[in-house]
Amino acid sequence: MPAWAVLVSVPGAIVMLAAVLALSQAIEQRVLSPQAMILGTARARRARPDYVEGFVALQLERLLREAPQR
């Protein structure tokens, strides 16, 4: 393998790793966070009100449990 290929592949791998980490963080915050899940459930048109109420209560309870204590 030529030396120039090694010099290009190392920074390229680091950039790819950083991109994957940034993408996973964005997905976690916008799709998988409890707040996003609550909003998605509340906005769903086909969800029954009793299901939405129970889901929101469950997620809120989880958020309060995981919140840092002051």
The confidence score (pLDDT) of residue 62 equals 85
* Sign for the pseudo-dihedral over CA of 41, 45, 48, 53: positive
| 6-65 residue pLDDT tens | 888 989 999 999 999 999 999 988 888 888 888 888 788 888 888 888 988 888 888 888
CA distance 53 to 21: 34
The residue type at 36: A
The residue type at 46: R
